[in-house]
Amino acid sequence: MDYLTFLLAILHVHKALCEETFWDTTVQLSENMTLECMYPSVGFVSQMDWTKINGTQKESIAVYNPYFGVAVMDAYNSRVYFPNTTKKPGDLSLSFHNASEVDVGFYSCVCHSFPNGVWRKNVKVVQSDSFETATPSNSHIITEPGQNVTLTYQLQSNWPVEQVTWEKVQPHQIDILAFCNLSQGRSYSSKYLRHTWSNCSQGGTKSFLVIPNAIIADLGLYRCHFKASTGEKETFVIRLMVTEGKANKQHILFIVGGTASLMFVVLITIIVILYNRRRRRQASMPVKESRDKQSKVVTNYRSPTSTNQSMDEEKEDIYVNYPTFSRRPKPRF
C-alpha cells in the first residue's frame, strides 16, 4: 500500500513538472515596474497573495487581506507595495521600487474570493534584450467608444494549424488575450483586465478577436500568431484606434484638411516662383538681343568712315618722269 502511494506521488510530481506553465503577461524589467493583477469577477475578495516561482518552489512576497491589511516579507520589505488596493476594488497589482536583475523570473498572483473560489494569474519578467518588440502594423481599424470591435486575420497559407494566439502589445508588456491549442483541443481563458473572446475551431485558417464595448484604453497594437504542426509560423499586427466621438473625428478631419491645405499653398508658391523666374528670363533675353543689334549697327556705321579716313591718309602724290622732246623743225634735204 505504501509502495502504491509512493508511486502515485511520483506520478503526480512528474505530471506537475511536465505540465506546461502558461504565462498570461510578459513584463519588461525596469527599475520601477508594476505587475498587473486585476480580479475580473464580481465577488468578495477574502485574501490575495503574490509569490515568486523558482522551479518547484514558491517564495512568498506579499499578502493582502481587506481586514488585516498588507504583509510584506522581509526579503521584499521597502521594495514592493500595492498601489491601488484602496482606490480600485479588485486591483491587486504589485509595484516594484529599485528592481534589479534578481527580480527577473516568474510570478503568480492568487486571489481567494467568495463564492467564486481561487483565481490565478501568472506573470513573467524578462530582461530588456529578451523582450519582444512589436513589428510595424499591417493594417489599422478606427472605431468609437461603445462599439464592438472584431479583429480578423485570414492565414495566407494552407498549413495544418496547431496553435493560434492573440496578444495586445504595449511598450512595457505583452498580454495574451486568446490562445487555442488545436492539436490538444483546448483553449485558454484570458486573465486580461478587458473581456474578449475568440474562435477556436479545428482546421480553421481564419481567426478573429472580439472586443466588446471598446474604450479609449483599448487602443494600441494587437498581434495574431499562427503556428503550424510542421513548424511554420505567421504573424499579423493590427493597430486599433479608438476616437473620442465626433469631436475627435472633427479634429482628425481638421488636421488632415489643414495638412492638405498647407501642401496646396506650398505647391502654388513653388509654381509662382518658377513662373516669375521664367518671365524674368524671357524679359531679359529681348533686351540683350536689342543691345547686340545696336552694337552691330554702330559698328557697321563706323566702319566705312574709318575705312575712308584710312584711305585718305594713305593717299600720296605720284610723280612720273618722262623725257622732253625738242620742237625744232627737222632739216630738209
The pLDDT tens digits of the residues spanning 73-105 come to 999 998 999 988 766 777 889 999 999 999 999
Residue 256 confidence (pLDDT): 63
Task: Tell me what the mean pLDDT of segment 3-15 comes to.
Answer: 47
Average pLDDT score, the chain: 78
Domain 19-129 CATH assignment equals 2.60.40.10: yes
Residue 261 confidence (pLDDT): 77
Spatial separation of the C-alpha atoms in residues 16 and 12, rounded to whole Å: 6
182 contact partners, CB below 8 Å, separation of at least 6: 161, 162, 163, 164, 200, 201, 202, 203, 204
∠ Cα 313 319 321 (to 5°): 165
Residue type, 117: G
Pick left, alpha or beta for residue 146 (phi over 0 → left; psi -120 to 50 → alpha; otherwise beta). Answer: left
C-alpha R_g of the chain: 47
Phi, psi of 87 (to 5 degrees): -90, -45
Considering only 134-138, 215-219, 266-270, 298-302, which range has the smallest mean pLDDT?
Answer: 298-302
pLDDT band with cut points at 50, 70 and 90 for residue 166:
very high
Residue 66 confidence (pLDDT): 86
| Residue 303 scores a pLDDT above 50 | no
User: What are the tens digits of pLDDT across the range 22-72?
Assistant: 789 999 999 999 999 988 877 788 899 999 998 888 999 999 988 888 999
User: What are the tens digits of pLDDT across the range 199-250?
Assistant: 877 667 888 999 999 999 999 999 999 998 888 999 999 999 999 865 455 5
Q: DSSP letters of 90-147?
A: TB--EEESS--GGG-EEEEEEEEEETTEEEEEEEEEE-GGGSPPPPPPSEEEEE-TT-
- pTM value surpassing 0.85: no
| Residue 16 scores a pLDDT above 90 | no
8 A C-beta contact, residue 119 and residue 113: yes
Most confident stretch, 9-18, 215-224, 250-259, 263-272: 215-224
User: What are the tens digits of pLDDT across the range 274-299?
Assistant: 888 888 777 766 555 555 555 554 45
- Whole-Å CA distances, 152 to 115, 141, 166, 207, 272: 36, 11, 10, 6, 49
Residue pointed to by grid coordinates 497589482:
93
Considering only 63-77, 113-127, 254-268, which range has the smallest mean pLDDT?
Answer: 254-268
Residue 5 confidence (pLDDT): 54
Residue 1 confidence (pLDDT): 47
Task: Tell me what the mean pLDDT of segment 179-207 comes to.
Answer: 78
Task: Tell me: cis bond preceding 66? Omega within 30 of 0 counts.
Answer: no
| Residue 307 scores a pLDDT above 50 | no
* CATH code linked to domain 139-243: 2.60.40.10
Considering only 30-39, 163-172, 264-273, 309-318, which range has the smallest mean pLDDT?
Answer: 309-318
pLDDT band with cut points at 50, 70 and 90 for residue 146:
very high
∠ Cα 201 207 209 (to 5°): 110
